[in-house]
Amino acid sequence: MKNFYWMVLLCLLMVIVSGIIYMHKDQVSLIKIPPKSLAQWYKPENKRQVWLHNMFKLRREMQALRFYSQAKEAKKLQKWLNQFSEHYLKIFEMVPEWNKKLDREALATLQNFAQVSNFQGITKVLDSLDESCKLCHTDYRAITATMYRAPDFSKIEKLSSSASIQEHMKTLIKQINQVKIASEDGMPDHALSSLSDLSKGLELLGESCSGCHKKDRKIYPSDSMSQTLARLKQSIKFGTQKKQGEELGSLAVQACARCHATHRLSADSRKLFLEPQSLSELIRH
């Protein structure tokens, strides 16, 4: 009898737990994370993006296989098939956890068909291989590119003696808002001194770009940003509030939003995947 009550209690508990999970299903999203062994085929563990380059080869080889099977050229077809086999099998040499995802049967069929010059058969096998490429890509392509190829801003050279990029960003936004508050409240001197601090902060940030953007020309602050800064300064001294607001808005787009659209977006996503929240954090939030 005692056992029976325990069973009922246990079932009830399971129903409640499943109920809670189901109720929150719209608020969480499950994603698959690629196996850790993939990391060795990307920077910083590897000098090159070996995984990605193997993928580019596969796409090219598939294209060649289609081309020569349509042209019915057995010899060239065989050449590309050998390369394709090597690179296809390399997928699971590199990441053994993905062994199950390989379509070895299709590969064997391709080889058989090539030997007997069954060109039509080859085209069909290529179609089904295409599908198997897509299956893995749906799960893992975007997350892999974000985790292993988005630039890592936590490691850029220090922006000043101690500030991290986040601290520097917080200083910049304070300076921008200080310019806005002081100009709106009729304190032009205060606005101008905040603007001059901001200019220095932008120069400092700009020095960090050249590590990756190796151009002769300085990309940040750009010429158009410098012109906007000069116009903003003039309008704080002599212009209307409307004009000041407009110039400050342009500056925020040129100096902040453009870079955020590329770098903050990918830096944030990268963090989301590489430093996922713990279960207890998720529940608390």
Per CB under 6 A, residues contacting ligand HEC are 51-52, 55-56, 58-59, 62, 88, 91, 98, 101, 129, 133, 136-137, 140-141, 144-145, 149, 151, 153-154, 156, 165-166, 169-170, 172-173, 176, 205-206, 208-209, 211-213, 219-220, 255-256, 258-260, 262-264, 267
Which residues does 218 contact at the CB level (< 8 Å), separation at least 6?
206, 210
23 residue type, one letter: M
CA distance 51 to 95: 10
Contact between 86 and 111 (Cβ < 8 Å)? no
Print burial letters for 177-199: b (CB count within 10 Å at least 16), e (below 16): ebbbebbeeeeeebbbebbebbb
In order of 173, 179, 226, 274, the CA distances from 199 in angstroms are 12, 12, 9, 33
We find the least distance from the C-beta atom of residue 15 to ligand HEC, in angstroms, to be: 38
Count CB-CB contacts under 10 A for residue 157. 8
Of 77 and 255, nearer to ligand HEC (C-beta) is 255
We find the least distance from the C-beta atom of residue 51 to ligand HEC, in angstroms, to be: 6
CA distance 16 to 10: 10
Total residue length of the chain: 285
We find the least distance from the C-beta atom of residue 277 to ligand HEC, in angstroms, to be: 15
Instruction: Give burial (CB, 10 Å; 0-12/13-18/19+) of 33.
Output: middle
Q: Given CA atoms 214, 217, 219, 220 in this order, what sign does their dihedral have?
A: positive
We find the least distance from the C-beta atom of residue 44 to ligand HEC, in angstroms, to be: 12
CA distance 230 to 251: 10
Of 122 and 165, nearer to ligand HEC (C-beta) is 165
Q: Which of these, 75, 79, 101, lies nearest to 89 by C-alpha position?
A: 101
We find the least distance from the C-beta atom of residue 74 to ligand HEC, in angstroms, to be: 21
We find the least distance from the C-beta atom of residue 198 to ligand HEC, in angstroms, to be: 7
Of 25 and 285, nearer to ligand HEC (C-beta) is 285
Of 3 and 162, nearer to ligand HEC (C-beta) is 162
Of 131 and 184, nearer to ligand HEC (C-beta) is 131
Of 79 and 218, nearer to ligand HEC (C-beta) is 218
- Please report where in the chains the tokens 């920077």 appear, as a residue: 43
We find the least distance from the C-beta atom of residue 95 to ligand HEC, in angstroms, to be: 7
Of 243 and 271, nearer to ligand HEC (C-beta) is 271
